[in-house]
């Protein structure tokens, strides 16, 4: 997947660390000196709340504008430099699913891909946050992506959830007429002291997808409370070490 540039972080289950992972991955890549765009595709807007970006038209407006066939210029939606090398298309309308019908979002599938593709020339990486759902909105985000990162926890419910999201990725790939990869499984609250963890490691390895583990850490919750990334709050922590491993192995430096 050396040519992959657009990644959606997705899981139909909530509370698995999607937004936190977007924050740490995107800011880590930006810290490495690469230009990164984040898209807050979750109407809850927690990614936007973290970075405090609100001065441009938001993701909801973009979806609505695309549905209406209006001309869309990327700079009208992009909040530049929420951190160094890091831009954001924010989310500011929690009523998105009520204001824009599913049929309109389905009509946006190709339009959203056409909107995002030219941004490949502007950014080394584009990281999309999605909501914990399985609706046309999440399908639109995945269809526009090159690859999907799936945050999980070491628990039984994650198994059935993983099978469901893998089916969704396969469906989106077939509909889009191109291969959308599953980049990795990302276990965001790993605890080695739990006896069952090794059992789950063996179970998830049967899916033959790269696995990364982020140790459970107070630095993560502490940094989120302060609207600071792990690189700003705990750069020497075990959690930062684990995210650094993910970046080094899963996101090769652009030549």
**pLDDT score for 2:** 60
**pLDDT score for 25:** 98
**pLDDT score for 255:** 63
Contact between residue 220 and residue 154 where contact means Cβ atoms under 8 Å apart: no
Pairing of strands 79-83, 86-89: antiparallel
pTM attached to this predicted model: 0.94
Q: What is the pLDDT along the chain (255 residues), one digit of tens a residue?
A: 567 899 999 998 888 889 999 999 999 999 999 999 999 999 999 999 999 877 789 999 999 999 999 989 999 999 999 999 999 999 988 888 888 999 999 999 999 999 999 999 999 999 999 998 889 999 999 999 999 999 988 776 777 788 889 999 999 999 999 999 999 999 988 777 666 777 777 888 888 899 999 998 888 988 889 999 999 999 999 999 999 999 999 999 876
Pairing of strands 125-129, 6-9: parallel
Could you give phi then psi for residue 144, rounded to 5 degrees? -85, -5
Structural domains of the chain ordered from first start: 6-247 (3.40.50.300)
Task: Residue 145: name the closest of 106, 175, 122 by CA.
Answer: 175
**pLDDT score for 22:** 97
């Amino acid at each position: 997947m050396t040519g992959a540039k657009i990644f959606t972080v997705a899981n139909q289950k909530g509370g698995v660390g999607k937004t936190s992972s977007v924050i740490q991955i995107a800011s880590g890549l930006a810290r490495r000196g690469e230009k990164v765009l984040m898209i807050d595709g979750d109407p809850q807007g927690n990614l936007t709340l973290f970075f405090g970006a609100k001065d441009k038209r938001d993701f909801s407006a973009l979806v609505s504008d695309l549905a209406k066939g209006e001309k869309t210029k990327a700079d009208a939606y992009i909040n530049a430099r929420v951190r160094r090398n890091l831009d954001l298309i924010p989310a500011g309308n929690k009523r998105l699913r009520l204001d824009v019908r599913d049929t309109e979002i389905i009509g946006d599938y190709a339009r959203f891909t056409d909107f995002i593709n030219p941004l490949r020339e502007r950014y080394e990486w584009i990281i999309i946050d999605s909501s914990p759902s399985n609706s046309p909105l999440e399908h639109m985000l995945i269809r526009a992506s090159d690859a999907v990162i799936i945050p999980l926890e070491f628990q039984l419910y994650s198994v059935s959830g993983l099978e469901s999201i893998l089916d969704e990725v396969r469906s989106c790939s077939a509909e889009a007429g191109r291969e959308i990869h599953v980049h990795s499984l990302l276990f965001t609250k790993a605890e080695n002291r739990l006896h069952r963890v090794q059992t789950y490691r063996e179970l998830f390895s049967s899916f033959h997808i790269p696995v990364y583990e982020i140790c459970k850490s107070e630095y993560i919750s502490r940094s989120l409370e302060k609207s600071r990334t792990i690189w700003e709050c705990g750069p020497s922590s075990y959690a930062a070490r684990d995210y650094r491993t993910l970046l080094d192995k899963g996101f090769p430096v652009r030549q």
